[in-house]
Each structure stands twice: as structure tokens, then as C-alpha cells.
Amino acid sequence: MEYRELGRTGYRVSLVGFGGIPIQRIDGAEAKKVVGRALELGINFFDTARGYTDSEEKLGVALKEHRDKVIIATKSMARDREGMAADIEKSLQALGVDCIDLYQMHNIKDEETLEKVLKPDGALAALKEARDQGKIKHIGVTGHVKELLIKVVKTGEVETVQFPFNAVETNGVRELLDLATETGVGAIVMKPLAGGALSNANFALRYLLEYPVSTLIPGMDSVRQVEENAAVGSNPLPLSAAEREELQREVASLGMQFCRRCEYCLPCQQGIDIPSVFLFEGYYTRYGLKEWAVERYRALKAKPEDCLECGECEERCPYNLPIRRMLKEAAQKLG
């Protein structure tokens, strides 16, 4: 595994890190097995969040015996000082550690949120206090809106910035990366595979490593995924002209209106597994696995027809997808 500097934090992080969203789907024993394989292959950066149900707990158990060899990052959606302080304590307990390496203000999605976290009684204040108290070491920010992240980086208060970047989503990335490089802020890339929409992980990850990013954090919940992704970090060759052309063909076929499987839309009050519906639709539409996709769609306990049209999922979606309409379209194909 090769490593790069994480901005001015002083950490050297694996080119491929570990995204902690998917391990919510597997049990503790399997999670320990997956994380163990990641460690064996040199992955040393592990990202999770307060909002990822039991992800912090599972990572904490799996990393307990390797604490001095890994960098643990987590994050909170809390916007004020009190809420962030409480979440930091919960994260410390869930992870089973005395200090967290990187704590991030999560999903800064609009100007109102930005104003709240930066206020004297905002989330940033709690993070700075926790750093002074030795509860966390470094402060970062995550979000999907590059313009807002640029504003946060320019404050000089954060040491890392985490954002979606992949062969499909490139708008605003160059300006953000240039600023991060100039200011010594580590660039952490989430959604490197466009939420699993890009089928060739090897090409997709190698494409990103041609940029001045610190680490990529694809979500992983199987040993096979870990091995495939870690292999790229161990030998990050530039894409050939033919490989680049193949990647761009897939990008062109995707467009921009598709689910990245970030799961921010969940939970659905009707129990609809929204990302899975769109995953099966993708297999049906793009990969020619119609029978397989339909079979798995039929096994879902709740389906799009159970939707109450409440719109909560659309309010939470960082990509502003018309989820209700997309669910109906998926049901027409799969039902």
C-alpha cells in the first residue's frame, strides 16, 4: 500500500481508506473479518460517523488491538456547541477510545448550516474545546457543495475536507483541490465509485489517484471488495488511453440523475430500502441482469407502492434527486 500526507495533520494515510457506511449491513464477526483484511493489506484510515447506526461500535471493536497503527475519523451532523459536545462523547464511548484522530463537521449543505456551525456557540466551538481537552486531535469538514466547503477551508479552522469526487462528479473539484493544496488541508474523497454506480472500481479509483488527493474512502462490506480496492492503492498506475475511454463511456451512460447509495434518505417511515431499489434498477437497466434484479426486488419487504409521498427522503438527499418519481419509474421496470 502506498501512502500520502493528510494535509498538515502530520498523518500519512493509505491511498485507499475504509468507508464505514456499508458495515452497518453485516454482523460484528463479519465486520471484524473485513476490517482485519483491510489492516493486513495496509489500509490505515477508517472513516465512520455518528449517523451510521452501529458503524462506530463495529469499527471500535475491530480496531481495538491496532489502535496505534490506525487513523480513525468520525463526524456529526450536530450544528451547535451542545449537540456536538454530546456527540463527541458518544463517539468516544462507541469507538472505545480516549481520543479520536479526526472529527468532522458533517454535511455542510447550505449557507444556513454553515452559519450555524461557525457561530460562537456553534459546532466548531465544541470541536476546538474537545481538541484543547485532548478528546480529538484534528478538525475537518464534509459536504457535497464545493462552494461551501471552499468557504470553510478559507476560514483556516479545518485541517481536512471530505467531498464526493468521481469520474461522474467533477464540477468544482479542481478549485477545491487547488485551495486544499495551497493551505495544507488534506483532501478525503468520498463516493469515489459514485455510490457503486461505476462498475469498474479499478479504473474509477486509479482515475482519482491522478489528482492531488490524500485518500479515497470507498465503502466496503466484504473481503473481496477490500482486496480489489486495496490492490489499486498498492499499485496506482495511470490509466491508459483505452482504459480512460472505457471509463468515460460508462460515465456518459450514467448521466447525473442516479442514486449514489449514500443512504442519507433513510430511514423511510414505510421501511422502503430506497438505495436497494435503485441498485436493482441499475442491474436491470445497465448491466443486463434483469432476472436477477427482479428476483431480488420481489424479495424486498416494502416496495415503492408503499410510499406515502411524504417527501422526507428528498429533503435529506444531498443530490436533490426526485426520489418519489424515481421510485415509481423503478417499480414500473422491476414490478
DSSP 197-234: TSS-HHHHHHHHTTSS-SEE--B--SHHHHHHHHHHHH
CATH number of 3-248: 3.20.20.100
Which SS3 state, helix, strand or coil, does residue 14 take? Answer: strand
| Confidence (pLDDT) at 285 | 78
Q: How far is CA 203 from CA 108, 164, 192, in A?
A: 29, 17, 11
Which residues, including other chains, have CB under 8 Å from residue 15's CB and lie 6 or more apart? 1, 2, 3, 4, 209, 215, 216, 232, 233, 236
- Flag residues of the chain having pLDDT under 70: 286-288
| Predicted local confidence at residue 284, as pLDDT | 83
| pLDDT score recorded for residue 32 | 96
Q: What per-residue confidence (pLDDT) applies to 287?
A: 58
Per-residue confidence (pLDDT) for residue 324, from 0 to 100: 95
Domain segments of the chain as ranges: 3-248, 274-334
Residue 152, all three cell numbers: 470553510
**Per-residue model confidence (pLDDT) at position 173:** 94
Q: What is the pLDDT of residue 286?
A: 67
Look up the pTM and report it.
Answer: 0.84
* pLDDT of res. 7: 97
- Is the sign of the CA dihedral 277, 28, 161, 90 positive or negative? positive
Q: What is the pLDDT of residue 76?
A: 97
pLDDT at 288: 66
Give residue for cell 502530520: 10
Nearest residue to 144 via CA among 178, 168, 172: 172
- Report H helices in the chain: 28-40, 55-63, 81-95, 111-118, 123-132, 146-154, 173-183, 201-208, 223-234, 241-254, 274-285, 290-298, 312-316, 323-334
Task: Report pLDDT for 53.
Answer: 85
Instruction: Provide the CB-side half-sphere exposure for 96 (13 A, CA).
Output: 14
Q: Which residue has the cell 461557525?
A: 118
Contact predicate 63/35, CB 8 Å: yes
